[in-house]
Amino acid sequence: MKKIEAIIKPFKLDDVREALQELGLAGMTVTEVKGFGRQKGHTELYRGAEYVVDFLPKLKLEVVVSDEMADRAIEAIEQAARTGKIGDGKIFVGSVERVIRIRTGEEGDEAV
């Protein structure tokens, strides 16, 4: 199994969720996060004073999928989250050794 973590722009969440649901993905975890990459933040004006926003608001999406579904899920996230502008985000993929559903004790693909 693979764990896919995607950092995306907040307004792209619905597009990404719909794309993953079309693949039959059962669930996901979304966390509000802040960070920066090459974008390096930006300056804003508030009550006449200019200040630097170092950490930009993003969403971190986490899903665990079977090895067979991983490439399709990654492609769906990539296409749905892309705006073509700087700050679109990143996708990280790692292996998952074991998954257990707490309620039933099921393991593996059945637990996802």
Confidence of residue 44 (pLDDT cuts 50, 70, 90): low
Q: Which domain holds residue 17?
A: 1-109
The pTM for the full model equals: 0.85
Greater confidence (35 vs 3) lies with: 3
Between the CA of residue 83 and those of 86, 89, 98, 99, what are the distances in Å?
8, 10, 34, 33
Is residue 2 over pLDDT 80?
Answer: yes
Nearest to 36 by CA among 50, 52, 49: 52
Residue 53 CA to residue 73 CA, distance in Å, equals 32
Task: Please report, for the domain that includes residue 72, its CATH number.
Answer: 3.30.70.120
Is residue 94 over pLDDT 90?
Answer: yes
- The total domain count for the chain is 1
Q: Please tell me the predicted confidence (pLDDT) of residue 8.
A: 97
